[in-house]
Amino acid sequence: MTNKNTADADASPLNIVTKLIESRRSIKPVDFSDHRVEDALVWQMLRNANWAPTHGMTEPWRFFVFTGSERSTLGKLLAEIYHQITPPESFKPAKAAKLVSNAERSSHLIVIAMKRQVSEKIPEVEEIEAVACAVQNLHLTATAMGVAGYWSSGKAICSDQLRKHLGLSTYDRILGLFYLGYLSSDWPIGTRSPVEEKVVWSSDA
């Protein structure tokens, strides 16, 4: 028989949100299965992302979703950009190949961008912070659905070349690429050093 108090405590909003936050993990495409995430689930992630806080209600997050054969097209474009922006002596063919395979192994790819407010009244850093909050909403929603993902921010991804390709202006910024897919193995466990090491608490009590 279930102890009602324990069951209630386990299912409390606080416990649910704490467990969800703790279990969110960055999981790379190499660990994805070939099972496709339903588009409806991705839309729910995007709707939840859209509820991020936003100074001045600028809602600066923009998402460019690639799925189906568009994944491979994006992966190849990223490999090409990497080639263009890398000096020949530092170019690594394996890195270019990984940009393609990571894209092809994912169910959906989401380019994360910040659309700059025309008046530039809100500081740029606050607009970037708002987009980061939106990505956290998206990632937590994916976690709640058992969908794996990770935020990647390589040079090719955050390049002017990709920004222009997506029709974004010089004032806008690409902040990364979010890879989504189902995990093919066990959900990994994360680690953090204690929060007490990062807090200065002042009080007269």
Ligand X SMILES: Cc1cc2nc3c(=O)[nH]c(=O)nc-3n(C[C@H](O)[C@H](O)[C@H](O)COP(=O)(O)O)c2cc1C
Minimum distance of ligand X from residue 67's CB (angstroms) = 21
Using the minimum distance from each CB to ligand X, give the nearer residue, 56 or 190: 190
CB distance 161 to 86 below 8 Å: no
Binding of ligand X by 26 (CB under 6 A): yes
Q: Contact region for ligand X (CB under 6 A) — 7-15, 38-46, 56-64, 147-155?
A: 147-155
Scanning residues 52 to 71, which ones bind ligand X (CB under 6 A)?
none
Buried b (16+ CB within 10 A) or exposed e, 128-138: ebbbbbbbbbb
Binding of ligand X by 25 (CB under 6 A): yes
| Residue showing tokens 């992302």 | 49
| Residue showing tokens 């992966």 | 75
Minimum distance of ligand X from residue 109's CB (angstroms) = 14
Q: How far apart are CA 183 and CA 133, in angstroms?
A: 24
Q: How many residues bind ligand X (CB under 6 A)?
A: 9
Using the minimum distance from each CB to ligand X, give the nearer residue, 12 or 26: 26
Using the minimum distance from each CB to ligand X, give the nearer residue, 118 or 195: 195
Minimum distance of ligand X from residue 51's CB (angstroms) = 19
Binding of ligand X by 185 (CB under 6 A): no
Selected from 151, 162, 168, 178, the binder of ligand X by CB under 6 A is: 151
| Residue showing tokens 């002042």 | 202
* C-alpha 171, offset from chain centre: 21
| Tokens coding 169 | 């202006």
Binding of ligand X by 176 (CB under 6 A): yes
Minimum distance of ligand X from residue 183's CB (angstroms) = 12
Q: How far apart are CA 34 and CA 54, in angstroms?
A: 36
Full DSSP string of 25-44: -B--GGGB-SPPPPHHHHHH
Enumerate binding residues for ligand X (CB under 6 A).
25-26, 150-154, 176, 190
